[in-house]
């Protein structure tokens, strides 16, 4: 339990620092986009590092779906203590990962009250996923959407070259 | 293992972000002090939160030494995976906690090569300790010193009122 908290608290502080810092420079309009992209970038690099450790002893993957299953199960358990609850795909490179109780949103009260705040707390995790997939050779766009706390949907769209 | 890494990687990213960010503003002279104090502040708030969880089921403490022993053992194990190796005190409010293999320095090569970089990676942890002690009613100054990686000494000086 200590570990979750250690990571979660540091994550909260980091989000709050990055937003405060931006606000203090008085650049209000490019605010949100920059903060989200800063956090996403940090997550990306950490995701790259993590996946290298996590796949050290794994056999290689058959296909994209196989990779996504690894992300939903092993990766998610290691990082967020639970599996993804639901994985859907259109079999054309789009995957939707639903987590019904996303670790980094559990500190918010349930329901719609803090819905506006949610994107701040998802950017880092989107980056984690994108970084992990990138190191497995999949170039993706990862976005997240919350309609009701603490449930969350991550959409992964593979970029075909 | 995943957890250490999750926290360590995020910590590395955070340090690097805060230093880069400061550099990009071109305020070179107040650079170091500001970055250290930003990181220390983040650690302080996280330390306050952590100690509340860690002491939830603990009996109350007899005296300052008893608190310091808790920090060296339970707190350190929860946060850094090992106990403090050596605790010394002058019995007048100064404590020196020595960790012979400090978790956040193990990614550096041993020896003196990266000694200059060490303070960056200790500020957050100094804050953690100060925050934890502060919530236990002890107002302290916490500093850290490295003479040979990855060993590290934290000095805690209790501020008498």
CB B160 within 8 A of CB B75: no
What mean pLDDT comes out for the span B6-23?
86
B17 touches chain A (CB under 8 A): yes
Least-confidence region, from B25-29, B48-52, B125-129: B25-29
Confirm whether the ipTM is greater than 0.90.
Answer: no
B14 CB within 8 Å of a chain A CB? yes
Q: How far is CA A99 from CA A49, A125, B134, in A?
A: 23, 12, 37
Q: B42 and A14: CB-CB below 8 Å?
A: yes
- pLDDT of A131 higher than 50: yes
Contacts of B49 in chain A (CB under 8 A): 5, 9
Nearest to A42 among B17, B53, B78 (CB): B17
Per-residue pLDDT for B48 more than 50?
Answer: yes
- B contact test, residue of A1, A4, A8, A9 with most B CBs within 10 A: A9
| DSSP, res B63 | S
B120's enclosing H/E stretch is none
Beta-bridge partner residues of B98: B86, B153
Residues facing B156 on adjacent strands = B95, B142
pLDDT tens for each residue of B93-144? 999 999 999 999 988 887 777 888 888 899 999 999 999 999 999 999 999 9
DSSP string, chain A: -HHHHHHHHHHHHHHHHHHHHHHHTT--SSHHHHHHHHHHHHHHHHHHHHHHHHTTTPPPPSSHHHHHHHIIIIIHHHHHSS--SEEEE-SSSEEEEEETT-GGGTTSPSBSTTGGGGGGGTHHHHHHHHHHHHHTT--EEEEEE-SSBT-EEEEEEE---
Q: Please say if the pLDDT value at position A29 is more than 70.
A: no
Task: Answer whether B1 sits within 8 Å of A54, measured CB to CB.
Answer: no
Residue B32 has a pLDDT of 75
**Do A42 and B10 count as a contact with CB atoms less than 8 A apart?**
yes
Contact B7 A11 (CB under 8 A): no
Strands A140-145 and A152-158: antiparallel
Q: Which of B19, B51, B156 is nearest to A6 (CA)?
A: B51
B chain contacts of residue A13, beta-carbon cutoff 8 Å: 42, 45-46
Would you call B79 and A6 a contact, using CB atoms and an 8 Å cutoff? yes
B57: which residues sit within 8 A by CB, 6+ positions away?
none
> Can you say how many angstroms the Cα of residue A142 is from the centroid of all Cα atoms in its chain?
8
* Confidence band for A1, pLDDT divided at 50, 70 and 90: very low
Pairing of strands B152-158, A152-158: unpaired
Q: For residue A147, what pLDDT is reported?
A: 85
Instruction: Determine the Cα–Cα distance for residues A117 and A109; give it in Å rounded to an integer.
Output: 12
Cβ atoms of B99 and B146 closer than 8 Å: no
Q: Does pTM surpass 0.90?
A: no
Residues 72-101 of B with CB under 8 A from A: 78-79
């Amino acid at each position: 339990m200590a570990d979750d908290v250690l990571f979660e608290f540091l994550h909260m502080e980091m989000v709050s620092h990055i937003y405060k810092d931006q606000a203090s420079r008085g650049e209000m309009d490019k605010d949100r986009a920059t903060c989200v992209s800063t956090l996403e970038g940090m997550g990306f690099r950490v995701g790259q590092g993590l996946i290298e450790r996590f796949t050290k002893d794994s056999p290689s993957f058959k296909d994209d779906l196989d990779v996504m299953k690894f992300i939903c199960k092993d990766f998610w358990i290691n990082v967020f203590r639970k599996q993804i609850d639901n994985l859907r795909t259109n079999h054309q490179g789009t995957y939707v990962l639903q987590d019904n109780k996303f670790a980094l949103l559990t500190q918010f009260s349930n329901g719609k009250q803090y819905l506006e705040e949610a994107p701040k707390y998802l950017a880092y995790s989107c980056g984690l996923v994108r970084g992990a997939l990138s190191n497995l050779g999949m170039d993706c766009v990862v976005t997240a959407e919350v309609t009701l706390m603490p449930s969350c949907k991550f959409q992964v769209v593979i970029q075909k070259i």
